[in-house]
Amino acid sequence: MSRFLPPTLSQVAIATCACVLLAMTAAHATAASPSALAPSQDETPILTLHSDGERRPVSRAEIESSPLHEVTLQHFEGPQGSFAGVWLDSFLDAQDLDDAATLRLIAHDDYTVFITPQDRKERRYLLATRLDGATLTLMEFGPTMLIVPADAEAVEAGTASMTHWIWSIRDIQAQ
């Protein structure tokens, strides 16, 4: 018959350090940081902006004219790695779009997501254009995708909604 022995102080300390390290690693995994990637020079249109009754094609170079940021995460649909792109609000500012507008993002398969001004106040959205430094293609959830880095782990775990995540974005409409 074996006897239960209480853990030693050093075993408790090691377990505590391990838990803290895991928590720090998880927090770091979804924290976006400035990217060292050079902005794209590709002027080929990859999406269309709609605002004030006008349509305007936008290239990867235009999107990446705002500062690039990177975040390492597991996307709930499978892609995993370092996603790079620009903060949605920075992109909107660069495009002179109305801050008060609700955005309608439409994917190539016509899936649609609405992002309200209140949504943009509550969390930061990354308009991703690259994965592990390579440009996103239509076959790889591109050419752009909208992700919410702060929600990545909760979405993956099924404890947060993924309704504001969209990939293969074709159109952004300011309404």
Mean of pLDDT values over 21-25:
38
**Cβ atoms within 10 Å, residue 122:** 10
Averaging pLDDT over each range in 30-34, 69-73, 157-161, which range is the top one? 69-73
Where along the chain do its domains lie? Answer: 32-174
For 87-140, write each residue's pLDDT tens digit: 999 999 999 987 778 999 999 999 999 999 999 999 999 999 999 999 999 988
pLDDT of residue 156: 74
- State the pLDDT confidence band at 165, using cuts at 50, 70 and 90: confident
First to last CA, the chain: 72
- CATH number for the domain running over 32-174: 3.90.420.10
* Residue 148 reports pLDDT greater than 80: yes
- Spatial distance between the Cα atoms of 142 and 163, rounded to a whole number of angstroms: 17
Dihedrals φ, ψ of 77, to 5°?
-95, 0
